[in-house]
Structure 1
Amino acid sequence: MPLPPSPVAREHVHTRSMRVNAYARDDGQWDLEAELIDVKGYDFPKSGGAIHKAGQPVHHMHLRLTITEDFTITDAVAAYDAAPYNEYCSSIAPDYKDMVGMNLLRGFRQAVKARFARTEGCTHLSELSYILPTAAVQTMAGRRRKQAESDASQAEQGDKPARRPFHIEGCHALRVDSPMTLKFYPQWYVKPGSDTEPGTTEPGGATSAG
């Protein structure tokens, strides 16, 4: 459901939009293509006397990361369509190739902060990258579904899978004692108050993105 109407009159001043499209590649890897757009709700003067119109992007940038099945980045490409300082902003784009080798689910945000801090990077590109770990998890949803089906088949045969899916215990809805875990992952369900060991989490859990 949408947010309730504001109880106080207000004026729109800024909109930030972020979008991620994910693609399965023929070589077995995945592309995550992220886009950030900032627009103002008012006209304002730019240096030199030109007027920046309301709704015209102040920032418009793109970041594509190519990842393997274990969420390791094998390629990174950044590009700019709009930035306040034009080529002085966009000149940092090639540096984001240094994301290659990082893993989206293993301290990724901290690695980005360390490599692209302050003058070493673009604030907006770095912020755009922060949404990609959870987007990557969603991208792998089909693979996880197949794994869940395999786990269920093993459970029916009396065998418990060696690794617990990493999204269990990753949010409040999928606590090990949650009704949702009981319904969708009964083999990993633990009754509230039980001392039973719930299992071993699959390496690379979403909560370790940093």
Structure 2
Amino acid sequence: MSFDSSVRRKPIHTRKIEMNSFLREDGLWELEASLLDYKAYDFPKRNGSIKVAGSPVHNMKICLLVTEGGEVSDVCARYDDAPYDQICSAIEAAYKGLVGLHLLRNFRNAVKDRFSRTSGCTHMSELVVLLPTVFIQSLSASRNRKEANSGKKPFQLEGCHALALTSPVVKEFYPDWYVNEKIAAGKIN
């Protein structure tokens, strides 16, 4: 995607994020996230060596062990490449501080509080706050089955603009929960 394909662009930086979830046979979830950064050009490092274009500047991974209810029960963080090598990777163990947090209850704010500034790694913290939505996506099929016959509002409704109760998506796929926009606005008696 480009704003104007007639204007030439020069690649500078690439960041790739990959996230996976796995349901274990013991009922726990493993949520894995990785971040890979690289430059499109060679550059000198402070030690005099050259960082070659396309080689990782950041290559980090974090795995959360999570209960079906959403509580983090264990964490493993790892840096395979980092700009300051062992200095960067020294923070790995600090991310065990995620244990006890709940992915679906104020998780992002808790990560910010615990790992802001010099208490954490900017890149690792940015990566880990994406995991709650991965977890929600992972749970959606089982939660939808459980909630289908319960009479409870499906958990994803009101979670984004497309799933507002007044949305045509809700009207089509969740008609029992659809609210006519005019009625919602109080324009129809």
The answer to whether TM tops 0.5 is: yes
> What's the CA shift for 1:3?
5.2
Residue 90 (str. 1) matches residue 89 (str. 2): yes
User: For the aligned residues, what is the CA RMSD?
Assistant: 1.7
Match of 2:139 in 1: 140
Distance 2:4 2:33 in 1: 30
> What's the CA shift for 1:53?
0.4
> What's the CA shift for 1:170?
0.9
> What's the CA shift for 1:195?
4.7
Distance 1:183 1:141 in 2: 18
SS in 1 for 2:10: coil
Count matched residues.
185
- Deviations 1:166-197, CA, capped at 9 Å, x for gaps: 2111111111011211221111111112259x
Match of 2:10 in 1: 11
Query: Which residues of 2 match residues 61-100 of structure 1 at below 5 A?
Result: 61-100=60-99
Match of 1:40 in 2: 39
SS in 1 for 2:176: helix
More displaced 10-residue stretch of structure 1: 5-14 or 51-60: 5-14
SS in 2 for 1:194: helix
Distance 2:179 2:35 in 1: 41
Match of 1:26 in 2: 25
Match of 2:158 in 1: 169
> What's the CA shift for 1:147?
2.8
Distance 2:117 2:3 in 1: 38
> What's the CA shift for 1:14?
0.1
SS in 1 for 2:182: coil
> What's the CA shift for 1:149?
3.6
- Runs of 5+ unmatched residues, structure 2: none
- Runs of 5+ unmatched residues, structure 1: 152-160, 197-210
Moved over 3 A (4+): 2-7
What is the identity, as a one-letter code, of the residue corresponding to 2:166? D
- Deviations 1:34-59, CA, capped at 9 Å, x for gaps: 00000001000012211100000000
Match of 1:104 in 2: 103
> What's the CA shift for 1:145?
2.9
Match of 1:158 in 2: none
Match of 1:187 in 2: 176
What is the identity, as a one-letter code, of the residue corresponding to 1:184? F
TM-score by length of 2: 0.92
Residue 116 (str. 1) matches residue 115 (str. 2): yes
> What's the CA shift for 1:4?
5.9
